[in-house]
């Protein structure tokens, strides 16, 4: 299968579905990662242009650890992501048409910040638009409207899982990938007193307790026609 995960910021996928992506890659599937925002506002001391470059490199390194075939960067600035931004829509459509996903993973429509919510809507829109030949005809259309799985919210707040993926054998890969994002990990530890690696490990352990394994990641299904399927797509 081809699997496309589209997150907002460069570390969001590692946080919420890094174990699942690692498992899929090691089971022989083609995994593609994409972040819409460039993360340029994610620090109080590093200035946005420099941070944008740092976080792009961090995302590439994390993608290698996950086993992704490619990491895409839509390169929208933080805090200005908009699902109606035609340029961003075009870029995401291009990614979808290139990767031809059997399914997409993205943010839940009830996640904790506006950029995440806008990405969720942007992915929903782009994944339909990609099937329309006369929209952005310079890129060959992909005549499939793929299923969407919404990944867990930060700390699982307000999220009721419908499916779980056992990531027990991949938790260290997930955390190693997340640890590539040192601009965020170090900042949060030094200034917010949050050990974010332990934070994410604890969330995965909690989902594991719910589903009877050591570590798990949780998902919900996008229930819109014609995206539902009888097939088990998650590992």
Is the residue at 26 inside a domain? yes
Phi/psi for 166 (5° steps) reads -75, 115
The string of pLDDT tens digits covering residues 193-231 is: 999 999 999 999 999 999 999 999 999 999 999 999 999
Is the residue at 232 inside a domain? no
Mean pLDDT along residues 48-74: 98
What is the spatial distance between Cα 31 and Cα 128, in angstroms, rounded to a whole number? 20
State the total domains in the chain. Answer: 1
pTM of the model: 0.97
What is the spatial distance between Cα 189 and Cα 195, in angstroms, rounded to a whole number? 5
SS3 content of the chain, % helix, strand, coil (to 5): 45, 15, 40
Is the residue at 73 inside a domain? yes
Mean pLDDT of the chain: 97
pLDDT for position 157: 96
What is the spatial distance between Cα 106 and Cα 61, in angstroms, rounded to a whole number? 20
Is the residue at 75 inside a domain? yes
Q: For residue 138, what are the domain limits?
A: 2-221
The string of pLDDT tens digits covering residues 69-104 is: 999 999 999 999 999 999 999 999 999 999 999 999
Is the residue at 111 inside a domain? yes
CATH number of residue 35's parent domain: 3.40.50.10320
pLDDT for position 116: 98
Is the residue at 42 inside a domain? yes
pLDDT for position 4: 99
Is the residue at 233 inside a domain? no
Is the residue at 229 inside a domain? no
């Amino acid at each position: 299968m081809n699997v496309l995960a589209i997150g907002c910021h460069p570390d969001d996928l590692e946080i919420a579905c890094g174990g699942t992506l690692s498992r899929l890659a090691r089971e022989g599937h083609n995994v593609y990662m994409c972040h819409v925002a460039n993360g340029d506002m994610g620090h109080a001391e590093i200035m946005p242009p420099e941070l944008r470059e740092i976080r792009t490199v961090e995302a590439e390194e994390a993608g290698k650890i996950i086993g992704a075939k490619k990491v895409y960067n839509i390169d929208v600035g933080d805090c200005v992501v908009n699902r109606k931004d035609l340029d961003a829509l075009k870029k995401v459509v291009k990614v979808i048409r290139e990767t031809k996903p059997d399914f997409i993973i993205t943010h839940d429509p009830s996640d904790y910040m506006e950029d995440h919510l806008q990405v969720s809507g942007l992915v929903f829109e782009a994944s339909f638009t990609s099937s329309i030949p006369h929209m952005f005809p310079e890129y060959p259309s992909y005549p499939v409207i793929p299923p969407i799985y919404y990944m867990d919210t930060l700390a699982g707040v307000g999220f009721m899982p419908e499916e779980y993926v056992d990531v027990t054998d991949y938790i260290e890969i997930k955390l190693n990938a997340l640890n590539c994002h040192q601009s965020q990990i170090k900042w949060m530890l030094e200034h917010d007193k949050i050990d974010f690696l332990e934070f994410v490990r604890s969330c995965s352990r909690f989902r594991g307790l719910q589903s009877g394994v050591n570590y798990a990641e949780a998902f919900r299904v996008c229930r819109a026609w014609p995206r539902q399927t009888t097939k088990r797509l998650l590992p």
